[in-house]
Amino acid sequence: MFWIFCAAVAVVAGVFIFVQYGPSTQMSLWFINQGRKYVEAPRWAAIGVTLVVLVFVYNVVATAIKAKKITRIVGVLMVDLIPLFGLYLIAFPSITNMSEDQYWWWWLVHLWVEATWEILIGCIMALALMQLLGTARRIVETWLYIEVALVLGTGILGLGHHYFWIGTPDYWLNIGGFFSALEPLPLLGMVVHAVYDAGAHRMKTTNKPAFYWVMAEAFGNFIGGGVFGFMMTLPQINLFTHGTQWTVSHGHFAFWGAYGCGVIAVIYLALQKSRAAEQLDGGAWTWSFALLNIGMIGMVGALLVAGIAQAFYERAMGGSTLQAFMQGQTNVWFVQGIVMRAVFGVVFAAGYVMLMYDLLTIGKRRVAVGSPKVQVAGGRA
């Protein structure tokens, strides 16, 4: 099943790279591109995504029932899986009215990324913190409940920052501008509280790479999703930044911080168990951690410079005309930003190669005789 999934991903990637688009026919819809950004996958692949999510839902629910123990964290996860599956079904209808299509399409894109997946990563981080630092269940469960409350109160209303310019009523300007930035706060609070609690026990951990990636997850989510998101979702600012590289800068930082770092942390936790390693540490993961994060922050900064140039020269000064857009592409700040984005992309790629090497070898490499069995997050115990 795993290799079938890999083959499907390879086919979709190949179509995107070498074909990309086709005529407005059912053949293109089913085998090339559905034509809606972020859910461009051809219809057969979208059906595959739906089936994979259903299998994931079954695995979680069936495992919890068989174990006859549904904790509060698992209970939140099980409830969250209902909209996780249901919202993706919005990817299938073909709506011809552009404003109506955008209205419902954002329910999928926003509420998947900034609601259901936000709670999902919160559940995963809660379980990871208990295993990694021995954090008390009451701490992570309290913050998880706060996260659920804020997602219901802000994640849904925060949807409004996508409704500024698609023909919806103007009350969305104030609603969307205010509520969007509050969503990452509970996850940051959960991790900071867990670290503070673990500090009383000298923050002992046997999995140093997972610890650092959890820290990157918390602060990357808060800064990339929260600070960078709030910086550009106020309607007075979004009027000039919408659709520029400024948005791309936020997207890079938010996705990396909110999900990428957390996934890597969980992989290291899983490797420690699967390889029966008493501790995980070494030099390779530190290089990958540094290169990946330096590369990402560099790309974010470069895209931000390019986006600010667009917002100023194309939008504020040029009035968003086609001529201003074309002139903006040759602006020295924009060009340098795009070039530096490519440079830091190479740094990120090098970090990825190092990460793959470390994931394939960590826990298998020989540990020096007499090396300590327990790591303290800031050094050795």
CATH number at residue 242: 1.20.210.10
pLDDT for res 140: 82
Q: Identify the bridge partners of residue 204 per DSSP, sorted by sequence position.
A: 376
273 belongs to a structural domain: yes
pLDDT digit string, tens, across residues 9-21: 888 888 878 877 7
pLDDT digit string, tens, across residues 231-272: 887 788 888 988 899 989 998 998 898 889 999 999 999 999
19 belongs to a structural domain: no
Spatial separation of the C-alpha atoms in residues 264 and 63, rounded to whole Å: 23
284 belongs to a structural domain: yes
Pick left, alpha or beta for residue 361 (phi over 0 → left; psi -120 to 50 → alpha; otherwise beta): alpha
320 belongs to a structural domain: yes
Supply the Cα-derived Rg of the chain in whole angstroms.
22
Range of the domain at 356: 202-381
User: Is the model's pLDDT at 182 over the cut of 80?
Assistant: no
pLDDT for res 116: 84
350-378 in b/e burial notation, b at 16+ Cβ within 10 A? bbeebbeebbeebbeeeeeeeeeeebbbe
pLDDT for res 190: 64
User: Is the model's pLDDT at 125 over the cut of 80?
Assistant: yes
379 belongs to a structural domain: yes
pLDDT for res 25: 83
286 belongs to a structural domain: yes
pLDDT for res 184: 60
| Both structure tokens of 231 | 């910086």
pLDDT digit string, tens, across residues 134-177: 778 888 888 788 878 877 777 777 777 788 877 778 888 777 77
Is residue 160 within 8 Å of residue 175, measured between CB atoms?
yes
pLDDT digit string, tens, across residues 190-241: 667 666 665 555 557 788 999 899 889 888 888 887 788 778 877 888 889 8
Neighbours of 198 (CB within 10 A): 22
Is residue 265 within 8 Å of residue 322, measured between CB atoms?
no
Spatial separation of the C-alpha atoms in residues 62 and 74, rounded to whole Å: 12
Q: Which range among 22-26, 189-193, 354-358 shows the weakest confidence by mean pLDDT?
A: 189-193
User: Is the model's pLDDT at 322 over the cut of 60?
Assistant: yes
Domain total in the chain: 1
160 belongs to a structural domain: no
263 belongs to a structural domain: yes
